[in-house]
A and B are shown apart, each in its own frame.
Chain A
Amino acid sequence: MATSTDSDERNLTQRIDAWLDEDMSPRRAIGVYLVLGLYFAFLLLPVIYMVIVSFTSQEFLFSPELIPSLRDLTLANYETVLSRGDFRTYFYNSLIVATSTTLLVLSVGILAGYSMSRFDYPGRGGLLYAFLSTQMLPIVLILIPFYLLMFSLNLVDSLLGIVIAHSVIGIPLGTWLLKGYIDDIPESLDEAAKMDGCSHLSVLRRVIVPLAMPGIAVAGFYTFILSWNDYLLVSILSQTAGTRTLPFGLQLFQAQNTVAWNLLIAAAVITMAPVILLFAVAQRWVVEGLASGGMKGN
């Protein structure tokens, strides 16, 4: 009896092995698509459904119907949301803050990454660790002294204050990513440029920056979404409607007692649209960059 179960088991393992060993047979392809289909339903269906609902009327949204008919489709939610002055302010603020943060992190990060990659000085290794260890800090721990500091610097309720706050969150990982990419550029290229009389700054401009472009795209993308998506720091620093960004605006909107879900969902779609478009443009570098970033230290 025991032996028969044993052989059954071995039989099963062999069959699984044989199945896994096959090259791409139709049956195997169907299996793979089935698995991908489950992941698709789990990860993407909710997003797609939200986008569809954002184009339907309020009557449909609050009805116990699952699938909208063509009659239910309308652009009214977007018209209402986009015509609201406060929402437009939040959108522009988000755009200004995320763009400025990205530019600041990239300029400071390229300099620091170049320094850590090409120069040898006392404390270099420790500095990189110090940069990265800030990623471990619970932001809630530093929130209060941080707020008091910004207050004494007169940076509360200003877009500049938000840009600085987002930048310091983005600099450590940005610098680390850029250093990794600069490390991959052969140093002989710098030397050749220096032979031709280039200063460090022009080596940076003519050799490093063009060759590190994929890394700059990854670091820039990462910083932009970090800034665009942040809620916590903005909620502490922004005190009037004039300095609110989209995530903070959305939170105030969804925390009201009676939520106009049709408008909230349209606003949410508009909020995620820019980062998704940016991702679509940059995904070639970003997907590979993020993936290889983790392996750089290997």
Chain B
Amino acid sequence: MATQTESQFSRYKEEFASFLTDTWIGYAFVIPAAILLAVVIGYPTLRGLYLAFFEVSLLNPEQMEFVGLQHFRALAADPIFKAALWHTVLLTALAVSFQYLLGLGLALALKEKVPGAGIFRSLSMVTWVMPIIVMVIIFRFMVQNGFGPVNIILDSFGMRTTYWFGEPGVAFPLIVLMHVWRNVPFYAISLLAAMNSIPKEQYEAARLDGAGPLERFRYVTLPQISYVSMIMIVLHVTFTFKNFDIVYLSTGGGPLGNTEVLATYVYKQAFEQYALGYGASIGVVMLILMLTFTIIYVKLEEVD
């Protein structure tokens, strides 16, 4: 009896020891990544949230004055902030809608087994792979006045030519267009993969039940690509909402603030006006809006 308990005890001890070592080895493997992220992302994030409640200048970041919610009250009365918020929301809504529709269209076209579809599938990813600055250079070149191809074509039809990024009313749609151009292939390839993983039998069964192609698309395809669609939409809403380079590198927020978005406004407040605290408070608003969107969207998707 005693020996039995003893052997059981030693077995427990062994298991406990192996549990301990496994736990520790698990921690040891994850720690380099965790420490890098905690120090280089985690700490600056908390610090950024903290700064939003202080008056701080980039010229003298050591000197901080607590101002509570004053920055947030100032935001509510800041016309540039309100315009930038509206542009950001509109840009995100338009860009993601067009990306999804055009991506879905491309996925459906690529799903047809025509010769060459595979090559096109790979080629189209070029727009997603290239640096944003190269994309901006392509678009800016195309709309240069006098020698840009778009203006050469417009001119040959006797239409007005100008540097279109400098034209209020046109600059903003061009920003939307760049977002769409860049990301449509990524949507298409993800949606295509989701479509290809739907078992053929389901289509056959639907066909036997008398469902036409449009109904099969509605009742077989759409429900089964909804998870990938959700991932794509959440990913690109956050990407578009917080994107800085596309606007900053192409128009810098102009002409006359027509394309100013929250990300460029934060940057200008912090690095051009040296208003660190005010800039941080805009960043906090961005973060709250993105988190709210993601949580609501994921919850709605779960209910479905």
- Seen from chain A, the residues whose Cβ lies within 8 Å of a Cβ on chain B are 13-14, 16-17, 20-21, 24, 28-29, 32-33, 35-36, 39-40, 42-44, 46-47, 49-50, 53, 61-66, 108-109, 111-112, 114-116, 118-122, 124, 127, 130-131, 134-146, 148-149, 164-165, 167-168, 171-172, 175, 200, 225, 228-229, 231-232, 246-247, 250-251, 254, 261, 264-265, 268, 271-272, 275-276, 279-280, 283, 287-288, 290-292, 294-295, 297-298
How far is B270's CA from A285's CA once the two chains are assembled, in angstroms? 41
Contact at B125–A138, with CB atoms within 8 Å?
Answer: no
Contact (Cβ within 8 A) A109 B120 = no
Whether A272 and B44, one on each chain, are in contact in the complex, defined by CB atoms closer than 8 angstroms, is no
Given contacts A137-B45, A287-B125, whether A13 and B238 have CB atoms under 8 Å apart is no
Given A16-B214, A20-B212, A141-B287, also A131-B33 (CB < 8 A)? yes
Among B34, B48, B186, B262, the residue within 8 A (CB) of A290 is B186
Binds A, one of B7-15, B65-73, B149-157: B149-157
**From residue B120, how far is it (CB to closest CB) to chain A in Å?**
6
Are A144 and B190 closer than 8 Å at their CB atoms?
no
A175 near B33 with CB under 8 A, answer yes
Q: Report whether A43 and B30 are in contact in the complex, using a CB–CB cutoff of 8 Å.
A: no
CB B268 to nearest CB in A, in angstroms, measures 10
- Asked if residues A43 and B238 are in contact (CB atoms below 8 Å), the reply is no
**B40 close to chain A: CB less than 8 A:** yes
Interchain CB contact under 8 A, B141 and A261? yes
- How far apart are B129's CB and chain A's nearest CB, in angstroms? 5
B30 engages A268 (CB within 8 Å): no
Query: Given the complex of chains A and B, what is the CA–CA distance between A33 and B109 in angstroms?
Result: 8
CA of A251 to CA of B211, assembled, Å = 54
User: Which chain B residue lies CB-closest to A28?
Assistant: B112
Contacts of A291 in B (CB 8 A): 189-190, 192-194
Q: Which of A20, A142, A225 has the most CB of B within 10 A?
A: A142
Q: Is the CB of B152 within 8 A of A66?
A: yes
Q: Which of B22, B48, B127 contacts A142 (CB 8 A)?
A: B48
Closest 7 CB pairs of A and B: A119-B26, A141-B283, A291-B193, A20-B213, A115-B29, A145-B47, A17-B212
Number of B interface residues at 8 Å Cβ cutoff, please give it: 102
Mostly, the A contact residues are helix
Instruction: Given A138-B286, A265-B137, A268-B134, decide whether A39 and B124 contact each other with a Cβ distance below 8 A.
Output: yes
Q: Are A232 and B244 in contact (CB under 8 A)?
A: yes
Contact status of A43 and B185, CB under 8 A, knowing A142-B48, A231-B245, A291-B190: yes
Given A39-B109, A66-B153, A229-B132, A295 contacting B193 (CB threshold 8 A): yes
Q: By the criterion CB–CB under 8 Å, are B137 and A264 in contact?
A: yes
Residues of B within 8 A of A (CB): 22-23, 25-30, 32-34, 36-37, 39-45, 47-49, 51, 58, 61, 102, 105-106, 109-110, 112-114, 116-117, 120-127, 129-134, 136-142, 144, 146-147, 149, 152-153, 155, 181, 184-186, 189-190, 192-194, 197, 212-214, 227-228, 231-232, 238, 241-242, 244-245, 249, 262-263, 266-267, 270, 276, 279-280, 283-284, 286-287, 290-291, 294
Contact B51 A144 (CB under 8 A): yes
Since A29-B114, A272-B131, A291-B193 are in contact, a sample of 14 more A-B pairs with Cβ atoms closer than 8 Å, ordered by chain A residue number, is A13-B214, A28-B112, A43-B126, A43-B184, A53-B141, A66-B152, A115-B26, A134-B37, A137-B45, A138-B242, A168-B37, A168-B40, A268-B138, A283-B125
By beta carbon, the residue of chain B nearest A17 is B212
> A148's contact among B61, B133, B214, by CB below 8 Å, is which?
B61
Given contacts A33-B114, A272-B130, A275-B130, contact A141 B266 (CB under 8 A): yes
Whether A294 pairs with B190 at a CB distance below 8 angstroms is yes
Contact present for B125 and A279 (CB under 8 Å): yes
Chain B residue with the shortest CB-CB distance to A44: B123
Complex CA distance for A127 and B112, rounded to whole angstroms: 42
B213 lies within 8 A of A32 (CB): no
Complex CA gap A139/B32 in Å reads 22
Contact A139 B242 (CB under 8 A): yes
| A46 vs B177: C-alpha distance when bound (angstroms) | 13
Of A33, A40, A136, A264, chain B has the most CB atoms within 10 Å of the CB of A136
B279 nearest CB across to chain A (Å): 7
Candidates A33, A63, A146, A275; contact of B40 at CB < 8 Å: A146
CB atoms of A138 and B287 under 8 A apart: yes
- With A24-B112, A36-B117, A127-B34 as known contacts, state yes or no: A145 contacts B48, CB within 8 Å: yes
Taking a contact as CB atoms closer than 8 A, the residue among A142, A232, A280 that contacts B245 in the complex is: A232
